[in-house]
Amino acid sequence: MVDIVVIGGGAAGCIAAIKAAEAGASVTLIEKNAKIGRKIMITGKGHCNITNAKKWSDFSVHVHNKPSFFKPAFYNFSNDDTIDFFESHGVETVLTRDQRIYPKSMSAASVVDALAGAIEKAGVQVLFNCDVANVTFDEEKGCFETDYVETINLRVAAGRVQSAAVIVATGGLSYPSTGSTGAGYDIARRFGHTVQRTFPSLTALVPAGYDMRLRDITLVNTTVQLFVGQDMVACEFGDIQFTDGGLEGPVGFKISRKAVWALINGNKVSVSIDLKPAVPLQLLKERVAREAEEFGINAVNFNKKIRAFLRKFMPQALIDPYVESNALTLGNLAAKMKDWRMAIVDYVGWRRAVVTAGGVNLEEVVARSMASRNRPGLFFAGEVLDIDCDTGGYNLQFAFSTGALAAKGAVEFVNKAKES
Ligand SMILES: Cc1cc2nc3c(=O)[nH]c(=O)nc-3n(C[C@H](O)[C@H](O)[C@H](O)COP(=O)(O)OP(=O)(O)OC[C@H]3O[C@@H](n4cnc5c(N)ncnc54)[C@H](O)[C@@H]3O)c2cc1C
């Protein structure tokens, strides 16, 4: 029997295993892939934005839904601790825009290598290619039993590890190709936990009749308002990207959480894109009128000349889709540039959503230790929990912080059990 089983070798599970082993516990880490950190490898477009340097008061506004739950974990293992950890494992870091921290190498592989090195050095036993199918608590033996199926090439074998404590760090549902397929929710449910409704966040929003000619266009410094029904529920300034999925980029991602939630609850969702946020409507109207006169466009030749005229106001690639999706007249041109409405009818699902919103109910987990309130010795860490964050390094920090705190909680639990 080992002290602690950690299920999942992602960001949360790796740090949990390292910290628990460094604190003297015997630890077995079970990962269903052949390597740790498969999702980390694709983070930050392969560069891995490991954390964000903001202090808690600024950091916490990027945490949804309950930053207060994250706070003890953050203070136990903060963004500074993440930087120190990687620096002390040979990963130099750099600070970039918006306080984002990356490895200086800009290589996610260097982050994964550092974690793999630390796992080995700490003496963690790792079972690769092992898919945990079930976790139970044997009352008679007084220990957890973690059952897994090992698959190597065509050989399939079943195995079991007994432990005093278990840390569930199986991630959420996003990018299932990396291994996160929601297994932790089933484990949690087996111990009587409830799982808050899961939905994709930080994902592309699909406009009605999405015009693929918009693909690959980035609009910089735009303002986007999100409407649910008639109500404006979010307003963000920055860049949006039209991709093969739909509307994304920093601003698209920022509004995606509320938009997806509204869509899955059957609400009407739309966005309004302001292509000229720095220019008040009245000034824009005056500029359009002035330039229209100089250009010689009027109500009679409007349809013939509008595309050429719009080159003064927007990138060429935008013009055809823009003209065709707006009933433009000379009179409404300025207003439409400041309010390009698109109904949002869908979103890109798990296969490409950056994070999972929803998860193991926070009311049933102790924020100071990550311990289950239902089953002593059971702990949770990372995306499996009902917290998700904005882009900017916040999600990995959440995984690292909760992983470190779960390790501390589990080690304390194991030591107490040994004493009694
Ligand atoms: C494309 C993309 C880019 C991102 N970029 C960033 C970024 O730059 N910065 C940032 O902060 N966040 C980023 N994120 C989010 C961040 O990567 C995740 O929030 C974080 O990695 C979650 O860590 P985790 O350990 O909780 O879960 P995961 O990383 O999903 O790890 C869970 C692990 O558990 C294993 N597992 C699952 N079920 C089982 C089972 N039954 N048995 C055994 N093993 C199992 C999985 O194989 C996996 O290795 C990005 C996410 C994506 C998808």
Does 153 have pLDDT greater than 90?
no
Q: What is the pLDDT of residue 286?
A: 97
Ligand 1 atom with the smallest distance to the CA of 179 is 47
Strands (E), 243-362: 247-248, 269-274, 340-347, 355-360
170 CB less than 6 Å from ligand 1? yes
Q: What separation in Å is there between the alpha carbon of 153 and the centre of ligand 1?
A: 24
Q: What is the residue-averaged pLDDT of the chain?
A: 97
The string of pLDDT tens digits covering residues 261-306 is 999 999 999 999 999 999 999 999 999 999 999 999 999 999 999 9
Convert the pLDDT of each residue in 179-193 to its tens digit.
999 999 999 999 999
Decide if pLDDT at 154 tops 90: no
pTM of the predicted structure, to 2 decimals? 0.96
Q: What integer is the mean pLDDT of 162-187?
A: 98
Pocket lining: 182 vs ligand 1, CB cutoff 6 Å: no
* Closest atom, ligand 1, to C-alpha of 381: 26
| Domains of the chain and CATH, by start | 2-200+354-419 (3.50.50.60), 205-347 (no CATH)
Distance CA 28, CA 144 (A): 13
At residue 65 the predicted structure's pLDDT band, cuts being 50, 70 and 90, is confident
CA Rg, the chain, in Å?
Answer: 25
Model pLDDT, residue 120: 98
pLDDT bucket at 138, cuts 50 / 70 / 90: very high
- Compute, in angstroms, the gap from residue 178 CA to the centroid of ligand 1: 7
Quick check: CB of 390 below 6 Å from ligand 1?
A: no
Cα gap 123→168, rounded to integer Å: 20
- Give CB contacts under 8 A, 24+ apart, made by 366-371: 366/409, 367/68, 367/69, 367/70, 367/71, 367/72, 367/73, 368/72, 368/405, 368/409, 369/405, 369/406, 369/408, 369/409, 369/412, 370/73, 370/167, 370/402, 370/405, 370/406, 370/409, 371/409, 371/413
Q: How confident is the model at residue 152, as a pLDDT?
A: 86
- Whether residue 252 has its Cβ less than 6 Å from ligand 1: no
